[in-house]
Amino acid sequence: MNVDIIVIGGGHAGCEAAYASARMGKNVLLITHDEKTIGRMSCNPAIGGLGKSHLVREIDAMGGLMGYCADKAGIHLKVLNASKGPAVRATRSQSDRMLYSNSVQSVINSERLLTTLSAEVVDIETSENSAIGVKLENKEIIKAKKVILTAGTFLNGKLFTGEEEEDGGRKKSKSSKILANSLRSLKLGDARLKTGTPPRILTSSIDFSVLEIQPGDTPRPCMSFINTPKIHPKQMNCFITRTNSKTHEIIRSGLDRSPMFSGRIDGIGPRYCPSIEDKIHRFADKESHQIFIEPEGLSSKEVYPNGISTSMPKDIQEKMVKSIRGFENAVISQYGYAVEYDFFDPRNLYATLETKKIKNLYFAGQINGTTGYEEAAAQGLVAGINAVLDIDEKEPWIESRANSYIGVLIDDLITLGTKEPYRMFTSRAEHRLLLREDNADQRLTPYAKSLGLIEEKRWQIFQKKMDSIKTETSNLKNISMDPSAFGGKKKTRQSVLEILKRPEIKLQEIYEMINRPLPDQGVLLEIETSKKYAGYIERQNKEIKKIKKYENAKIPNNIIFGEISGLSNEAKQKLSKVLPKTIAHAQRIPGITPAAISLLLVHIKKEESLRK
């Protein structure tokens, strides 16, 4: 069997990579241990959230499947940070696990050029430092022009619950030990990371009457630009409870049996989503920690208590859970556990996610040191698109930090690498006011169209939105009002768009006052944001233009950073370690100040003048 592209792994990265490649006209084979697990949510049953939803919207704008499938499975939707500025608002979709994976599989199976196979890959076939296919456990070799590896937590994965230890990438799924060992022989810079999951609790054993109810939003938001709330299934409530001093005492009593504290786990866990034992150790002054109780699905008998991920022994987990309000009679249906797995230094990748050492081999997802479905899916999209473009001998699709969170994600990984599971936050983007959830389609859908990733129907939906924004903005420009209608002294009539710049004024209020039909929510939000934040947006655009001046200023390969006069030792060490290729690259290294960049530019110009 010969195909254009082989994708290894049926998780979120693998699905987006395979789907994108097939939509672009290539024959794709997706290989996973078990086809029935394609699109499965290994950890919490949710898509989106702070920073992550921006990635989902961008994936959706490029014609990806995550946002669409999240809507099909969304049983509790909410906009986080709704009272804050538009740059940091984030949509979160609580998902029905089964509905989500079923939706993903339906999309994957409907793609004509995409085939799936249940098998274990044990080696990457190479020739002259190029990937040419894969070897299966049954010795069969399948040839391909490109190989995309999206192994998640399965590479040499080990599960820990107290003193118990077993091989696996998640519960009831085997570890990819042979493939992990084969990859190590390629010397691509492997290390270990760790993540974890909380115990699952039977819904019938919880006293919900004492818990704080968290309903979803009304009206409901959508994760995909092309969906409406009509696509959502029946909605459910989430709930909140908290740990307490007794809970913390129980956990402390078992720390000596915790694999994290006994030294049996070497991998570093996620800083921003630590286990409960790590929380009470690091934040010893805190008397309690919030637990967000998430339903696993409409027909599920379990809940996911988000906030108490743990690898403590089973007896400690039993006592810990029953010490929590509402959980006094709780029945654990699956104990929490930690997962330790191999990952590879992403600094050994190009921006296309092709490995620098092995041509035609791409890495995407947790294998690159990230955590989260959304980060994985974004990488899968990038790898899938660029694999196709390279086959077709076309220019790669490399997103800039100024245009997308996908660009921020990839640039952070290949420039800085990571020593802990990398998670996306809005704070990682320097120009986040330009990179909002609501305008992801405006930033990326034209690229998707040019790459052949979206159908004509979707393009027409986008065009209709853009036409509506243009028309509504033009009409509002010609409508004037007395500003005193919104409070204050009577003034000369002003354009509605001028009045809208006042922070307390909402565009919906203006439409109601002038008795004009409301446009779609996306149109309304875009017009309001572009006017209300016009000054800030203009400032960020100027900053981007300034940075672009440096983007093509290359740093000579033979430069010795340690010899640059005036640079601090810290700057010399960081520049020498990262070896930036451009000034823009050097600017993004943490700790490299504008003053250090100025000294670097002076040194480069001085060296150039000496050579003339």
Q: Compute CA distances 71 → 54, 103, 232, 345, whole Å.
A: 15, 10, 6, 34
What are the pLDDT digits (tens) for 240-294? 999 999 999 999 999 899 887 777 777 777 766 789 998 998 888 899 999 999 9
The two structure tokens encoding residue 583:
């000034």
Report pLDDT for 490. 64
Strand partners for 318: none
Q: Compute CA distances 364 → 10, 368, 369, 388, 414, whole Å.
A: 12, 6, 9, 15, 12
Highest average pLDDT, of 175-179, 462-466, 521-525, comes from 462-466
pTM, two decimal places = 0.90
How confident is the model over 25-33, as a mean pLDDT?
97
Report pLDDT for 463. 97
- DSSP H helical segments within 533-568, as ranges? 534-551
pLDDT of residue 527 exceeding 80, the answer is: yes
Distance (Å, whole) CA 223 – CA 54: 10
How confident is the model over 327-344, as a mean pLDDT?
95
Closest CA to 75 of 212, 223, 199: 223
Closest CA to 329 of 162, 210, 236: 210
Report pLDDT for 469. 95
Highest average pLDDT, of 385-394, 508-517, 546-555, comes from 385-394
Identify the residue with better confidence: 552 or 383: 383
pLDDT of residue 611 exceeding 70, the answer is: no
Report pLDDT for 606. 83
Cα 60-37-423 angle, rounded to 5 deg:
50
Least confident of 12-26, 116-130, 150-164, 589-603: 589-603
Site of tokens 């504290």: 261
How confident is the model over 340-359, as a mean pLDDT?
94
Closest CA to 48 of 335, 440, 325: 440
3-state secondary structure (DSSP) of residue 204: helix
Report pLDDT for 272. 64
Distance (Å, whole) CA 211 – CA 403: 42
How confident is the model over 502-524, as a mean pLDDT?
87
In total, the chain counts a number of residues equal to 612
Report pLDDT for 129. 93
Give 346's DSSP letter: G
pLDDT of residue 610 exceeding 70, the answer is: no
How confident is the model over 42-58, as a mean pLDDT?
95
Cα 147-152-158 angle, rounded to 5 deg:
125
How confident is the model over 371-396, as a mean pLDDT?
97
Closest CA to 152 of 275, 44, 32, 270: 32
Report pLDDT for 410. 95
CB-based contacts of 207, cutoff 8 Å, min separation 6? 326, 327, 328, 329
Cα 362-364-366 angle, rounded to 5 deg:
140
Distance (Å, whole) CA 97 – CA 304: 11
- Mean pLDDT rounded to a whole number for the chain: 91
Burial class (CB in 10 A: 0-12, 13-18, 19+), 115: middle
Identify the residue with better confidence: 147 or 570: 147
Distance (Å, whole) CA 319 – CA 164: 18
How confident is the model over 147-175, as a mean pLDDT?
89
Distance (Å, whole) CA 236 – CA 74: 9
Q: Compute CA distances 313 → 18, 235, 254, whole Å.
A: 39, 35, 8
The two structure tokens encoding residue 159:
């599960």
DSSP 391-438: HTT-------TTT-HHHHHHHHHHHH--SS-B---GGG-TTTTTS-ST
Report pLDDT for 70. 98
Element (H, E) at 470: helix 456-477
Q: Cβ–Cβ contacts within 10 Å for residue 213, how many? A: 9
pLDDT of residue 545 exceeding 90, the answer is: no
How confident is the model over 13-31, as a mean pLDDT?
98
Strand partners for 155: 176
How confident is the model over 495-523, as a mean pLDDT?
87
Beta 302-306 vs 332-334: how paired, if at all? unpaired
Distance (Å, whole) CA 376 – CA 387: 16
Sign of CA dihedral 597, 598, 603, 606: positive
How confident is the model over 50-59, as a mean pLDDT?
96
3-state secondary structure (DSSP) of residue 502: coil
What are the pLDDT digits (tens) for 84-132? 888 899 999 999 999 999 999 999 999 999 999 999 999 999 999 999 9
**8 A C-beta contact, residue 236 and residue 76:** yes
Report pLDDT for 488. 62
What are the pLDDT digits (tens) for 552-575? 678 888 899 998 988 888 889 889
Least confident of 113-117, 188-192, 269-273, 495-499: 269-273
